[in-house]
Chains A and B, each alone.
Chain A
Amino acid sequence: MGKLYGYAGRILRLDLTHRSAVKIELPYDMARDFIGARGFGAKILWDEVKPGVDPLCPENKMILALSPLAGTAAQSFHRTFAMFKSPLTCGYFRSTGGGFFAAEVKSAGYDAIIIEGRAEKPTYVWIHDDDIEFRDAGHVWGATVDGATEILREETDKNARVLAIGPAGERLVRVACLVTDDYRTPGRGGGGAIWGSKNLKAIVALGTKKPELFNEDLFRELVKEQIDVYKRSPLFDAFHSLGTNSVVYQFYTLGHNPTYNFKNTELENAEIWRTEVLEKYVIKHYGCFTCMIACGKKWKLTKGPYAGLLWDFPEYETHWSLGSTCGITNLEAIAYANMLCDKYGLDTISTGAIVAFAMELYEKGILTDRETDGLRLRWGDGDAMVELVRKIALREGIGNILAEGTARAAEIIGRGAEKFAMHSKCLELPAYDPRAAKAHGLSYATSNIGGSHMIGWNKYEILGMPEKVDPLTVEGKGVLAKRVQDQIAAFEAAGWCAFAELVQTAGYGNVEKTMEWMGKVLYAATGIEEFKDPGYIWLVGERVYNVERAFNVREGMTRKDDWLPERLQKVPFPRDPARGQIFELDRLLDDYYAARGWDAKTGVPTRKKLEDLGLSYVADELEKLGKISS
């Protein structure tokens, strides 16, 4: 075991209860076995969060973890990964966002931050290289993210980077998120509520350190190759000019972007998502730390009741969640609600999905004007959607119930509401219909974090790249879903941005070359020999995925939790191109567990599988708990 290059070499443990900050040396084995970012989060959560812990109690922890390449010249590896036990799913969670915060934390000298305990009163943490201060946040408690960020920068350093929660997190809204100073969000799973439960308003970071690389020349050469591949990628120009807005209308026509809470009937006026319409709102392009793709856009609204807005644009998922799944084609209302979500600190995907759920309940008469305080939740009404977003953020009226997320809200409301709660493991489903892309849908069902599009975003089915796979067939989809989940787990253990990986893979024309490049650049940065072997990087991806699964197994999850709503399993898809399709859950699960080497009856990893992945200690604990046999 040699010196660790590339990494900052330290983990920062913040105990909010005792206001203590401890710097721990990064263990070499953990770096080698889990690379970083999502990998570190999975490992630390497994080691430190006991089963059965209430997600909103001081014993739960959040791990903020970074790539070993964060803060270097490598493109697009500068994301913040947040791992925690979710107040929404009550299981393992990983959430990620871009911006500049991660690079700043790395510059301050940390590869990960473990947040534990609960502060006695509202607090923010000021990290300035080796100096850590726990400061009173009483004056910004209750403030929106943008307002609090401005004040905290004034009283620390104007160049500092901030990760904060808004009023939604403070009120323990289960779909509240963390927001960076440039409105990039580790958005899903209720991380904002975790901070709220810990009385943590923000972390402000500023650093001056620079990581030492193992082989500077090789690293420089590989980054040059990366830039060349980005430039020649057929996706680069589209993502640079419009970000994820480049695919909104296209995906609708290909059977994704489900409408009306997954009833998925035709949406009149869907043409407003054509690129020539969306690009008219763009006034500025911007990117995350060292990312030439610069997929971020600023939108300006000049007409209608929301005129004057100048804010971060709605992403693909947000056009769907605050738009098409609510039957809304009012772009100005979508942009305004997106801004409210950023200011209040709400996950736009879950929030919009909750609004769609409420609109369907209103349509069915399960919710009436009496319960909604007179707010008429009609499909397509952008103004009603905006008002409901505000009510959810502030837990006002019906918003107080909906702030619990669709699954819990359905239980509270009763009267058959659960039929219309479109979630998996209590995480609201995002902007793809499992009936129209079976391996992608299988990832919704089996994902360790619930209904997420990112855990197994199936480029083979959705973009037909690097090779085309028929999205409607069932055969072979277990293997495909596993392959993509492991790929993404490997890329995210390295802390890479999913869009950027897509751009690079499109440039190379295959995933293998991308994985090989990533292994080499990790080796050049860190000096860890194993990273040179792309087969080893794949193994790490599968290892991370299995540790995450084991965490959920330890919490009591089994095959029964790998589930999708009845509507997707029983109601045929009503429009082209997936007309007549349903989601064949049981058949697909059997295929998936076989591909994973997990027990088909329980969906639990076998001892052999865990041992093959170097996870004997995980197998031992699961055996001790009676979750697996020897």
Chain B
Amino acid sequence: MVEFLGYAARKVGRNWLWVEVNEGETLRDVFLKYLGLRLENEVVEALMNAFMRGEVRVAVNGRVVGSLDAKLNDGDKILVFPIAAGGDTCFEKMF
């Protein structure tokens, strides 16, 4: 399950998405391969760039990860969130 918070959720247009990942796949795969199929490229790219700049964080099962190379397991919960949620302008600046 991928959960989005705050302006990330607003931009994605939903709070949750369920994706199926294969053994050994990473967060990068989730963004590029799976979210890319369901969301506009512009949104996925903006999320990934914001992650690189540290403005958006990603946690797997509640633990914040430092890289999109983190490997995933079946049933993992992924949270995509701004450092603090609320407001729109920071996200708008990403585009």
Contacts and interface: CB of A to CB of B under 8 A. Distances in A.
B49 interface: no
Contacts of A253: 3, 59, 62, 79
B84 interface: yes
A397 interface: no
A279 B87 CA distance: 10
Contacts of B59: 253-254, 577
Nearest to A464: B64
Contacts of B10: 276
A18 interface: no
A587 interface: no
Q: Which of A240, A242, A279, A577 has the most CB of B within 10 A?
A: A577
Interface in B1-37: 3, 5-6, 9-10, 15
Given A249-B5, A276-B9, A238 B87 contact: yes
B21 to A, nearest CB: 18
A620 interface: no
A254 B62 contact: yes
A250 B5 contact: yes
A241 B87 contact: yes
A576 B62 CA distance: 6
A275 B8 CA distance: 11
Interface string B39-71: 000000000000000110101011110100000
Given A234-B55, A234-B90, A253-B79, A239 B84 contact: yes
Contact of B62 (A255, A463, A465): A255
B86 A275 contact: yes
A465 B90 contact: no
Interface string A384-400: 00000000000000000
Contacts of A321: none
Contacts of A239: 84, 86
Nearest to A503: B84
A191 B86 CA distance: 33
A468 B62 contact: no
A247 B62 contact: no
A347 B78 CA distance: 36
A487 interface: no
A171 B39 CA distance: 59
Contacts of A472: 63
A235 interface: yes
A241 to B, nearest CB: 4
A239 B89 CA distance: 12
B6 A254 contact: no
A515 B87 CA distance: 27
B90 A238 contact: yes
Q: Which of B15, B77, B84, B89 gathers the greatest number of chain A CB atoms within 10 Å? A: B84
A503 to B, nearest CB: 9
Interface residues of B, number: 27
A123 interface: no
A464 B57 contact: yes
A246 to B, nearest CB: 4
A247 B59 CA distance: 14
Interface string A27-44: 000000000000000000
A250 B62 contact: no
A275 B66 CA distance: 24
A276 B59 CA distance: 20
A577 B63 contact: yes
Contact of A577 (B5, B62, B87): B62
B82 A234 contact: yes
A606 interface: no
A247 B54 CA distance: 16
B91 to A, nearest CB: 8
Contacts of B6: 238, 246, 250, 275
B81 to A, nearest CB: 5
A275 B85 CA distance: 7
A274 interface: yes
A237 B88 contact: yes
Contact of A235 (B57, B77, B79, B83): B83
B86 to A, nearest CB: 3
Interface in A603-621: none
B14 to A, nearest CB: 11
Contacts of B9: 274, 276
A234 B51 CA distance: 12
B83 A506 contact: yes
Contacts of A279: 86
B53 to A, nearest CB: 8
A576 B84 contact: no
A82 B61 CA distance: 40
Contact of A237 (B15, B54, B61, B89): B89
A246 B61 contact: no
- Interface-centre pick from A237, A463, A472, A578 (highest chain B CB count, 10 A): A237
Contact of B87 (A240, A254, A464, A465): A240
13 contacts: A235-B83, A238-B83, A238-B86, A246-B6, A246-B84, A247-B85, A250-B84, A253-B59, A274-B5, A274-B9, A276-B9, A464-B64, A464-B83
Q: 4 shortest A-B CB distances, which residue pairs?
A: A577-B62, A237-B87, A242-B86, A238-B84
Given A238-B86, A245-B86, 5 more contacts: A242-B85, A275-B86, A276-B9, A506-B83, A576-B62
Interface of B: 3, 5-6, 9-10, 15, 54-55, 57, 59, 61-64, 66, 77, 79, 81-90
